[in-house]
C-alpha cells in the first residue's frame, strides 16, 4: 500500500509539473528545403526564375542558402536562353519579434553558371548577360533585408517581403 501511495504521489507530481510547464516556442535553427520562383522585366527582355534549394540556419546567427537556380530568359528580339546556376550564399540572420533580418556574406558568396542553352540568340551575348546577372546579384548580396516572419512552426518557416512598388513575395521553407 505504501508503495502504491508513493507511486500515486509521483504520478500526480509529474502530471502537475508537465501541465504547468510552458511550451517552448519553435526555433528557427534547422535544415529546411524550399522552392521559389519569381519573374521580372529587364532592359533586354523578360526573366522567369525558379529555384530549388536548402537553407540551414545555425544558432550562432549564420546560415547557408544553397540552390539550383534556373533562369529562362526571353529577349526582346525573340531569342531565348536558359541559364542554370549553382547558388551558394553563406549568410547572417536574426529575428526581432515578427521581423526576420537576413543578409548574404559577400566575401564567400558564389553564383556559378553551370549550364547554358540558347535558342535564337548569340551564345556569347547570353554568356555575357549571365555574367552581368552574377555581378548584379553578388554586388547586392550583403544588403540586409527585413522580412516579415509570417509563420514559424516545428515544420515550416514562412517569411514575406513587400517591395517598394507594393508587390509582395513569400518564401516557404520546410524543416527536414
User: Residue 137, class by beta-carbon neighbours within 10 Å (0-12 exposed, 13-18 middle, 19+ buried)?
Assistant: middle
The answer to whether 69 and 85 have CB atoms below 8 angstroms apart is yes
Q: Which of 33, 157, 44 is nearest to 95 (CA)?
A: 157
pLDDT at residue 176 is higher than 50: yes
142 belongs to a structural domain? yes
Q: What is the structure's pLDDT at 2?
A: 52
d(CA 62, CA 46): 33
pLDDT at residue 58 is higher than 60: yes
The answer to whether 173 and 157 have CB atoms below 8 angstroms apart is yes
118 belongs to a structural domain? yes
Range of the structural domain that residue 121 is part of: 29-175
61 belongs to a structural domain? yes
Give the pTM.
Answer: 0.83
14 belongs to a structural domain? no
167 belongs to a structural domain? yes
C-alpha cell at 140: 547586392
CATH label of the domain that carries residue 36: 2.40.160
Domain count, the chain: 1
Q: What share of the chain is helix, strand, coil (3-state, %, to 5)?
A: 25, 55, 25
- 163-174 tens-digit pLDDT: 988 889 999 999
8 belongs to a structural domain? no
- 86-142 tens-digit pLDDT: 999 999 999 999 999 999 999 999 999 999 999 998 999 999 999 999 999 999 999
Question: For the residues 35-59, what does the mean pLDDT come to?
Answer: 96
Amino acid at each position: 500500500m505504501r508503495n502504491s501511495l508513493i507511486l500515486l504521489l509521483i504520478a500526480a507530481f509529474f502530471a502537475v509539473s508537465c501541465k504547468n510547464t510552458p511550451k517552448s516556442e519553435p526555433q528557427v535553427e534547422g535544415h529546411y528545403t524550399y522552392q521559389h520562383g519569381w519573374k521580372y522585366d529587364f532592359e533586354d527582355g523578360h526573366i522567369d526564375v525558379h529555384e530549388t534549394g536548402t537553407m540551414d540556419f545555425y544558432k550562432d546567427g549564420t546560415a547557408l542558402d544553397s540552390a539550383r537556380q534556373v533562369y529562362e530568359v526571353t529577349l526582346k528580339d525573340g531569342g531565348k536562353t536558359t541559364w542554370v546556376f549553382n547558388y551558394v550564399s553563406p549568410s547572417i540572420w536574426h529575428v526581432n519579434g515578427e521581423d526576420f533580418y537576413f543578409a548574404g556574406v559577400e566575401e564567400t558568396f558564389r553564383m556559378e553558371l553551370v549550364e547554358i542553352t540558347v535558342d535564337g540568340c548569340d551564345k556569347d551575348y547570353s554568356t555575357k548577360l549571365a555574367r552581368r546577372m552574377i555581378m548584379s546579384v553578388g554586388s547586392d548580396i550583403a544588403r540586409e533585408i527585413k522580412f516579415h516572419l509570417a509563420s514559424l512552426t516545428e515544420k515550416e518557416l514562412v517569411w514575406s517581403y513587400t517591395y517598394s512598388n507594393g508587390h509582395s513575395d513569400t518564401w516557404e521553407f520546410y524543416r527536414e
